[in-house]
């Protein structure tokens, strides 16, 4: 079956989020250390983590394209956003095909990347961040939960643009930590970011899966 438009985007998000959640659960449950030698497990890990990074990159781009100065009322938050968002506009515009070598060298047939994918990714991520603390206990699979029944209710929902970007950056950083494979150390020293990142992908997988059911997939 050929998929088009938003349906294929939902499928991609669901697959990435589900694969990342299951991969994390497997390692956190068994405390597996990622092998340093080349092998099938390394290739699988690389593929999963790269897809997760690509997804968060789409989420970040969607955030950059969506944020408005009117949403920011705090001076320090505005400074934080200026440092991390506006200074990246040149690179982003090049990725989207908006940068021209010269104003006089306009190519009307220049191919522009469609931005729908970034906005959908950011929208889905935002819904996941809001839904995360409300996830039913029977849906929470984080292996090292101290709550019985398990819950994400204590994880705050990011409200301001600065808080949303901070959470995105935290998850991007955790993906690089996952590549090191020091799972016991992450549980002991990075428990909060680890749990928030795991919960985000778990919630994203569930939400995207529910959307696919509506498409009878």
pLDDT in tens, 32-78: 444 444 456 788 889 999 999 999 999 998 888 887 656 666 777 66
pTM: 0.78
Sign of CA pseudo-dihedral 195, 200, 201, 203 = positive
- Give the tens place of pLDDT for each residue, 82-116: 666 655 555 555 655 655 544 444 454 444 445 56
- Chain-centroid distance, C-alpha 40: 25
How is residue 1 written in tokens?
């079956």
Q: Is residue 162 part of a domain?
A: yes
For residues 134 and 101, what is the distance between their CA atoms, to the nearest angstrom?
A: 48
Q: Is residue 107 part of a domain?
A: no
Q: Is residue 104 part of a domain?
A: no
Q: Is residue 136 part of a domain?
A: yes
Q: Is residue 103 part of a domain?
A: no
Q: Which structural domain, as residue segments, surrounds residue 22?
A: 5-98+113-214
Q: Is residue 125 part of a domain?
A: yes
For residues 63 and 168, what is the distance between their CA atoms, to the nearest angstrom?
A: 9
Q: Is residue 105 part of a domain?
A: no
For residues 128 and 106, what is the distance between their CA atoms, to the nearest angstrom?
A: 40
- Chain-centroid distance, C-alpha 102: 35
Q: Is residue 108 part of a domain?
A: no
Q: 3-state SS of 188-202?
A: HHCHHHHHHHHHHHH
Number of domains in the chain: 1
């Amino acid at each position: 079956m050929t998929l088009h438009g938003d349906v294929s985007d939902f499928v991609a998000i669901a697959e990435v989020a589900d694969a990342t959640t299951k991969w994390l659960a497997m390692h956190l449950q068994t405390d597996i250390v990622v092998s340093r030698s080349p092998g099938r497990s390394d290739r699988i890990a690389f593929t999963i983590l790269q897809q997760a990074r690509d997804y968060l990159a789409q989420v970040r781009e969607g955030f950059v394209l969506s944020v408005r100065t009117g949403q920011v009322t705090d001076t320090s938050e505005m400074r934080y956003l200026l440092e991390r968002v506006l200074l990246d506009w040149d690179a982003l515009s090049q990725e989207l095909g908006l940068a021209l070598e010269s104003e006089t060298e306009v190519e009307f047939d220049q191919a522009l990347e469609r931005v729908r994918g970034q906005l959908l990714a950011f929208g889905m991520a935002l819904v996941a961040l809001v839904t995360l603390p409300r996830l039913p206990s029977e849906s929470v699979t984080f292996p090292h939960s101290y709550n019985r029944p398990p819950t994400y209710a204590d994880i705050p929902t990011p409200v301001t643009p600065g808080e949303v970007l901070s959470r995105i950056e935290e998850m991007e950083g955790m993906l690089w930590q996952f590549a090191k494979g020091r799972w016991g150390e992450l549980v002991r020293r990075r428990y909060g970011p680890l749990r928030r990142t795991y919960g985000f992908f778990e919630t994203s997988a569930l939400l995207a899966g529910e959307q696919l059911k509506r498409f009878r997939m």
